[in-house]
Amino acid sequence: MLYLASQSPRRRELLGRLGLEFGLIDLDLPEHRQPGEPALEYVRRVAREKAGAGLLKVVANPSALVLGSDTEVVLDDEVFGKPRDAADAAAMLRKLSGRTHQVISAVSLVSPSREAQAVSISQVAFAELDDATIERYVATGEPMGKAGAYAIQGYAEVFVSRLDGSYSGVMGLPLHETARLLREFGVGV
């Protein structure tokens, strides 16, 4: 049985696009970058921790397969997580304005006997955003709960002048890498 260890409705939607049945494991793990921890290792670690914590919740099921994922926006080694409030969201968007940033998505798949991981790194270029545009976008509420204070599948899609990488990875679950991992574990996709 496949489980998704995530509260993200975007991850649920994306995993559903693979045509698989899966259960949900609701986790609320703290996500804190360790001092000196490289951004890539941080994202990989959080994805592993989510999958591992999910497996502990379904340990009674010997055929359990748990998928955990983490996605973060990174600019100049600064990790932009979910904004604390509207002012934090606006500050993030000002920093991203007119710049190219990375979106790192890590996917971990664990069973009682094995684990594997894949990573997708996308380059996302934002157009210049003036303060009025940022204020209007933040007022929609869309930036809240989103890494980097934006949703590429929403209004912020017009901010993206160039994307080199995985659109679904920027949304929160890189489907190409996820499907490859599932096939490695014998799940037909």
- What is the reported pLDDT for 65? 96
**Cβ neighbourhood burial of 45 (10 Å; 0-12, 13-18, 19+):** middle
Catalytic hit among 26, 28, 70, 76: 70
Nearest CA to 112 out of 175, 185, 22 is that of 185
70 in catalytic set: yes
Whole-model pTM: value is: 0.93
CB 156 within 8 A of CB 103: no
- Phi/psi at 124 (5° precision): -125, 120
- What is the reported pLDDT for 128? 98
The average confidence (pLDDT) of the chain is 95
Here the tokens at position 155 are 């209004």
- What is the reported pLDDT for 118? 98
- What is the reported pLDDT for 66? 97
Report how far residue 188's alpha carbon sits from residue 169's, in angstroms, rounded to the nearest whole number. Answer: 21
Please report the sign of the dihedral spanned by the C-alpha atoms of residue 81, residue 82, residue 88, residue 91: positive
In sequence order, which residues have a C-beta less than 8 Å from that of residue 109 and are 6 or more positions away? 51, 65, 66, 67, 115, 116, 117, 181, 182, 184, 185
- What is the reported pLDDT for 102? 98
3-state secondary structure of 125: strand
Nearest CA to 126 out of 170, 81, 172, 95 is that of 95
Report how far residue 5's alpha carbon sits from residue 69's, in angstroms, rounded to the nearest whole number. Answer: 8
Give the relative orientation of helices 86-96 and 131-139 as an angle to the nearest 10 degrees: 140
Kindly list the averaged pLDDT for each block of 10 residues, start to end, along the chain of length 189.
Answer: 92 95 89 93 96 90 92 96 96 98 98 96 98 98 96 96 97 97 93
Here the tokens at position 137 are 């976008």
Nearest CA to 169 out of 102, 109, 90, 115 is that of 102
